[in-house]
Structure formats: C-alpha cells, structure tokens
Amino acid sequence: MRKKIVAGNWKMNTLPSEGVELAKAVVAGRGEVCECVNFIVCPPFTHLSQVIEAVKGSNIAVGAQDCATETKGAYTGEVAAQMIAALGCKYVILGHSERRQYYGETSETLNKKMAQAYANGLTPIYCVGENLEEREAGNHFAVCKAQIEEVVFNLTEEQFANLVIAYEPVWAIGTGKTATADQAQEIHAYIREVLREKFGALAEECPILYGGSCKPSNAAEIFAKEDVDGGLIGGAALVAGDFLAIGKGF
Ligand code: PGA
C-alpha cells in the first residue's frame, strides 16, 4: 500500500503569526480526516520553527519549500538542508516549477539539492510537469520523462525508497484550471512506468502526488485514480478547512 499524502505548499504567503494560526487550525481539524492520510505543511523558511512548534504532538509533518545546493559557507541568502533538518523538518520540496521558471533551476542544480536533502535525512518532494506549450505540442510525456531521468535516475535504491514525486502541470498551477482525473491518471501511470524501468518493483511504492488547482471539489475524483497518491496543494492549503477537506477526498 502506497502512502497517501496531502502536502500544503504555502509558497510566499502568511506572516509568522498567520502561519502559526493556520497550522493550529489544521491540527484542530485533523481528527475529522482518516488517520491514513499523511498531512505535510510547507511554510516559508521564516516560520518553519514556529510551525513545527505549533504542530508538535500531532501527526502533521513539516517541510521546507527549497534548500541550498551547498552544505554551508559563503552563500548569502541561502538556507542549507542541514539547517532545515536541525529544526525538525522531515520534507523538502525540490524542483517546483516556480523555482525552475523564475530562479533558473536545472537538473544540475536539482541533483545537488537532492544530495543535500538525503545527506540530512530529509525526504524530497520532487516536482515535475510540463507547461502549456509543451502540453499542446504533445510533449508532456517527454518533458516529465527527462525531468525524472536527469535527476531521479541518479538516486540509489535506498534514496529512491524515500522519495515523493509531485506531478504539477504548470498550466494548472494557480490558474483554476485542473487536469482532469483521467489526464492525471494517464501521466501518473506513465511516470510510474518510467520509474519501473530504473527501479523495478520499488516504483510501486513511490507516492506520486497531483498538484495544480486541486481543491475540495475535485480532490476525491482525482485521488480515486489508481496512480494518484495524493496532492501538493497551493492556494487551497492556505485555508485550513479546505486543506483538510482535500484530505477527506480519500
Ligand atoms: P495551486 O498550486 O494549488 O495553487 O495550483 C499548487 C502548487 O504549485 O504546488
């Protein structure tokens, strides 16, 4: 049985006090959702420690939204994986399309970040996905395959066994447009097939999350698909009731 995961990517939203309130509200409502769902919240770096404190004693995990390529040193403005891990974070989102698009992250950068994450005991949530142009040209399979081959294929089996993948079509992120459940299933199954080529039966265990305008009204239909193991949620993760309701989609 693959893990069911609902992860909230808060992006550059919430002030520390608001983040703590949001986390507390998620903790307060957690009991209404099946224990089988693993909730993760990913606040900005500035309030990671306060949010970790706020969820203490609950079974909600905390992740960061990125980490540095280097271990430590003269890299002004960067945050090292070891710093994140020292706070008590368990996860780190890597390769989000906004990082690829606005900050020029490439597979080369991401290989280094993945290595940092694993060296510090963090589970990466590695994001892949095509943009609208690529989808319209029918290149979405090739784009996702390359993003997997260039990074995930460099992992050891042990590392791969501790990986979460998020498929996020760029055209669906923050746009209100969601991939249909069938579109999600089609590409999730394809991604799993690519993973199987390299990692064999281990591919069956890898959670693959859908992301892109996932909300309470569409989560259940998408999560019902065989190869969809949960969601990476942006906008709807900023409202505790919506985030929890997405978890009820299982
Ligand atoms: P969205 O973002 O749910 O606001 O579309 C998803 C994401 O980028 O992780």
What span, in angstroms and rounded, lies between the C-alpha atoms of 192 and 187?
9
The pLDDT, as a whole number, for residue 176 is 86
What span, in angstroms and rounded, lies between the C-alpha atoms of 91 and 123?
5
What span, in angstroms and rounded, lies between the C-alpha atoms of 59 and 113?
26
Instruction: Count the helix, strand and coil residues of the chain and give each as a percent rounded to the nearest 5.
Output: 50, 15, 35
Question: Per residue in 81-103, pLDDT tens?
Answer: 999 999 999 999 999 999 999 99
Burial class for 126, CB neighbours closer than 10 Å (0-12, 13-18, 19+): buried
* Confidence tier at 178 by pLDDT (50, 70, 90): confident
Q: Helix or strand or coil: residue 247?
A: helix
Question: Per residue in 14-52, pLDDT tens?
Answer: 999 999 999 999 999 999 999 999 999 999 999 999 999
- Which of 94, 168, 210 to mutate for ligand 1's pocket (most ligand atoms within 8 Å of CB)? 168
How far is the centre of ligand 1, averaged over its atoms, from the C-alpha of 73 (Å)? 32
How far is the centre of ligand 1, averaged over its atoms, from the C-alpha of 74 (Å)? 32
The whole domain housing 105 covers: 4-247
What span, in angstroms and rounded, lies between the C-alpha atoms of 141 and 134?
9
* Confidence tier at 177 by pLDDT (50, 70, 90): confident
Specify the number of domains making up the chain: 1
Residue with tokens 């009991």: 31
> Which residues are annotated as catalytic?
96, 168
Q: Is the entire prediction scored with pTM above 0.95?
A: yes
Determine the atom of ligand 1 nearest the C-alpha atom of 93. Answer: 9
Question: At 206, which CATH number?
Answer: 3.20.20.70
Question: Per residue in 228-238, pLDDT tens?
Answer: 999 999 999 99
Cβ atoms of residues 62 and 51 within 8 Å: yes
Buried b (16+ CB within 10 A) or exposed e, 164-200: bbbbbbbbbbeeeebbebebbbbbbebbbebbeebbe
- Which of 173, 214, 218, 239 to mutate for ligand 1's pocket (most ligand atoms within 8 Å of CB)? 173
Determine the atom of ligand 1 nearest the C-alpha atom of 214. Answer: 3
Q: Strands 208-211 and 230-233: what pairing? A: parallel
Determine the atom of ligand 1 nearest the C-alpha atom of 237. Answer: 3
Note the residue count of the chain.
Answer: 250
Write down the mean pLDDT value for the chain.
97
Report, as an integer, the average pLDDT of 106-135: 98
Cβ atoms of residues 87 and 49 within 8 Å: yes
Q: Which residues pair with 218 in a beta bridge?
A: none
- Which two three-digit tokens encode residue 86? 């020292």
Residue ranges around ligand 1 (CB below 6 Å): 9, 168, 173-174, 211-214, 232-236
Whose Cα sits closest to atom 2 in ligand 1? 234
